[in-house]
């Protein structure tokens, strides 16, 4: 997904709205997984999860690099480490939720986490990155 979809999406959209849209797509896909009752519905929801995850990961790293020029390597490594830790911890959490709260609980909780992350991003993230702002001003002056 990342090799085909992300380059095309980045050509047509700015990173900030693309990242926010991918988070919302990921939340919607997780709701789709929570309510899916047939195999085709699960497959469609999984496709949307793959698209949302690819966009969120790739564009998120891009935004992180653009917003933190001084220590971007450290923050990108920290981000990758957090993703790896999540990849190990979330299956166990999903199994617990599935066993104790039903088969749709992991999807609902995941969707809520995606929405909460999107909300935090809207509140905390700057409207524009320093690197992108300087590129935009250079384009205007030419």
pLDDT at 26: 92
13 φψ region: left (φ > 0), alpha (ψ -120 to 50), beta (else): beta
Which superfamily does 2-141 belong to? MFS general substrate transporter like domains (1.20.1250.20)
CA 39 to chain centre: 25
pLDDT at 130: 52
CA 90 to chain centre: 15
pLDDT at 62: 80
pLDDT at 78: 84
Instruction: Give the C-alpha separation, 97 to 24, whole Å.
Output: 22
pLDDT at 115: 93
CA-to-CA separations, 37 to 47, 49, 77, 93, 103, in angstroms, rounded: 16, 17, 38, 22, 11
Instruction: Look up residue 64 and give its two tokens.
Output: 């992180």
**Spans in the chain with pLDDT lower than 50:** none
pTM for the model stands at 0.75
């Amino acid at each position: 997904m990342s090799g085909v979809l992300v380059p095309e999406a980045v050509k047509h959209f700015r990173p900030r709205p693309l990242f926010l849209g991918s988070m919302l797509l990921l939340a919607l896909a997780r709701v789709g997984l929570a309510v899916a009752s047939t195999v085709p519905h699960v497959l469609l929801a999984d496709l949307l999860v793959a698209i949302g995850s690819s966009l969120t990961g790739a564009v998120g790293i891009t935004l992180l690099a653009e917003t933190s020029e001084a220590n971007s390597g450290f923050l990108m490594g920290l981000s990758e480490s957090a993703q790896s830790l999540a990849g190990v911890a979330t299956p166990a959490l999903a199994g617990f939720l599935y066993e104790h709260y039903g088969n749709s609980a992991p999807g609902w909780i995941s969707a809520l986490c995606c929405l909460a992350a999107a909300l935090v991003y809207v509140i905390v993230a700057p409207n524009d990155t320093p690197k992108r702002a300087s590129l935009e001003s250079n384009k205007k002056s030419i």
